[in-house]
Amino acid sequence: MKKLFFPIFLVLILLGFNAAALKKIEGTVTEIGHKKPITGVRVSNISGSKQVWTDKDGHYVILLENGDQELCFDKSGYLSQRLSIVKKTILNVQMSLGMEQHEPIMNEISIINQSAQANASNMVLTKGPQKTIMIRGLASPNYGQKKYDSHLGMGMNIIGHYGNTESYAAIAENTFLAPNKTPLSTFSIDVDGAAYSNIRRYLNNGGLPPKDAVRIEEMVNYFDYDYPQPSGADPVNILTEIATAPWNPQHKLVKIALQAKKIQTNRLPAANLVFLIDVSGSMAQPNKLPLLVSSFKLLTDQLRPEDRVAIVVYAGRSALVLPSTPGSATTTIKDALNKLEAGGATAGGQGLEMAYKVAAENFIKKGNNRVILATDGDFNVGLSSDKEMETLIEEKRKSGIFLTVLGYGMGNIKDSKMETLANKGNGNYAYIDNITEARKVLINEFGGTLFTVAKDVKLQVEFNPSKVQTYRLIGYENRLLEDKDFNDDRKDAGEMGAGHTVTAFYEIIPYGVKSSFTPSIDPLKYQENKILGSNSSSPEMLTVKLRYKQPDGDKSKLLQKAVLDTSFPFSGASDNFRFAAAVAEFGLLLRQSEFKQGANFAQVIRLAQDAQGKDTEGYRAEFIKLVKSTALLAKDLLSIENTNKFNEKK
């Protein structure tokens, strides 16, 4: 036992992980009487600040603060439980079916005695008069508190409760391609950072994110990089750097970066903003509407007298709660925000139509005209299909009204829908998991979030087959374009706001390096099998081409830069390069990528620490702490997964 303890203790010390501050609880949830695993049970501490869901085998692993004394177990159709975890590391739970299972489920609801209403958010089952009962059945579309006498008598309230219905678009990772067959790589840029803050929420709650929630390009682009500003008339410039790949030193890593021109806030054009706020029943949680209101108050404090703000809300219907008001009227704007309450269905399409109408009525020529949609992403009444909303947004962006999307909350996030809406609306998408993130997006990055300096920004990279055996774009899977789209000005692409940076990595297998990722293809019978040697006369590895349009323009401009084939060790690369590569490596691990090769958590931590550099806001330090805790969590989950596979074989 002593021999085992010391290596584990040493690992924790090397990771810099404060084991005394956290404790791990794991177990299996089954159905009572049948021992059938229950999938999708929400396991959380009392406050709900840490929560995970059971997997297909009913297993869960959660990291908690030492002060946490109890765990809650909730799932639609089952009686909730609240159990002590004092002096426990393993907690197996049996749950019994709840009431009224014969009725169709439209919403999970909780019947709570009025005296226990203060604890309603915990959704727990306790003894005595403060009992909470989870039932299934038809729920009123008004998801706020409603009188409900037919089950338990007078004085009972219904509190809406939502299961885990988060959705993410499937990602098929980019593979290695041979430049003699596929010489061009074309994609739209992405400045969003939503994926990083979303997976941070998962990890801070003690669980790993779904693989498809991990978009590596958004993780990399979440962070600030100290790139040189554009020096000419163009609002964006191209920067490149090459070094060995940290997860495979035989491969090279090429960084292609863009830097948009910074503009002082007081020099930004006047803004015509419409806050489009989701006040449906699903927003009645502390990390949704209350956090949303606090976020918009921060934004309100950044407004100038020449800026204007209107507020449109939507639930069962949409309404204009504040007509267009000067930015100097901060008290009026904040009073309108303070009066918002959640309840009702989600007529998101109707809200979009009204918001765009208000923005058009107050349009500022040469100004920043924008709708800012804040929601958990659920649209289920009226104009709700993705295609209908995309068509509306595409139509409105032509008039110069852009769209920014801010996501809030957990358990109900419609990530793929929100990202799509922002892309179609010539805007960006951010996920707000706490007030610190709201400050980052709406204060620190105010210009980049709300003012576009270049639209429809596309990149196309041509590779020299005499230098590059195969290449792989890391991330950007949902931003890929056909090669012909690069010169087609009708094709939509990403936008860059003032001061925004974009970073993309290509992993290169140099000519002559043996690799399992290089496809083995028999020689062609009817065509010449031409092999280019590495001694080609051209010293260039690749050429980067960029197209962009002015925010109010329709014709693109071309920029390009040739990149010489060089060989630098990873340790000699810039801090920007090394830190961004560490973030990309972390993404490979979270995705359990088939291309992760020698990637590991210890290396990510070391690389990030060595390249932390200037970290004024502490985002990089936070990243390092996040990787440390994830390393321990991933090890535990892998151990459970291996045990399950062993049991299945038996």
Question: What distance in Å separates the CA atoms of residue 198 and residue 296, rounded to the nearest whole number?
Answer: 19
pLDDT in tens, 563-616: 999 989 999 999 999 999 999 999 999 999 999 999 999 999 999 999 999 898
CA dihedral 237, 238, 240, 246 (to 10 degrees): 90
> Other CB atoms closer than 10 Å to residue 645's CB: what's the count?
10
Average pLDDT over residues 44-50: 82
CB 240 within 8 A of CB 256: yes
pLDDT class of 533 with cuts at 50, 70, 90: low
Beta strands in 308-465 (DSSP E): 308-314, 318-326, 368-375, 401-408, 429-432, 452-463
Dist. CA 510–CA 180, nearest whole Å:
13
Cα–Cα nearest to 494, from 533, 547, 545: 547
Residues making up the chain, counted from first to last:
650
Is the model more confident about 448 or about 124?
A: 448
pLDDT in tens, 274-322: 999 999 888 888 889 999 999 999 999 999 999 999 999 988 788 999 9
Overall pTM > 0.95: no
With contact defined as beta carbons under 8 Å apart, do 181 and 518 qualify?
A: no
Continuous H helices in 364-434 = 386-397, 415-424
Query: Which of 126-130, 251-255, 401-405: highest mean pLDDT?
Result: 251-255
Residue 453: what are its φ and ψ, rounded to 5°? -110, -20
Percent of the residues in the chain that have a pLDDT greater than 90, as a whole number: 51
Residue 214 has pLDDT above 70, yes or no: yes
pLDDT in the model for residue 164: 63
End-to-end CA distance of the chain: 27
- Residue range 76-114, pLDDT digits in tens: 778 889 999 988 889 999 998 864 333 333 333 333 333
- pLDDT at position 1 is 46
Are 76 and 136 a contacting pair, CB within 8 Å? yes
- C-alpha 548/C-alpha 113 separation (Å) is 59
Domains of the chain: 22-166 (2.60.40.1120), 184-263+454-518+535-599 (2.60.40.1230), 266-449 (3.40.50.410)
Summarize the confidence of residues 46-61 as an average pLDDT.
Answer: 83
Q: Report the distance separating Cα 148 and Cα 112, nearest Å.
A: 10
Q: Are strands 494-497 and 401-408 parallel, antiparallel or unpaired?
A: unpaired
75-109 as b/e, with b when 16 or more CB fall inside 10 Å? bbbbbbbbeebeeeeebebebeebeeeeeebebbb
pLDDT at position 363? 96
> 532 pLDDT band (50/70/90 cuts)?
low
DSSP class of residue 227 equals P
Q: What is the pLDDT of residue 98?
A: 67
pLDDT at 386: 65
- In the 8-state DSSP scheme, what is residue 270? P
Count other Cβ atoms within 10 Å, centred on residue 431.
29
**pLDDT given at position 132:** 31
Q: Dump pLDDT digits (tens) for 404-419.
A: 999 998 777 778 888 8
φ, ψ for residue 216, nearest 5 deg? -60, -40
pLDDT of residue 10: 45
Q: Which two tokens stand for residue 48?
A: 């709900």
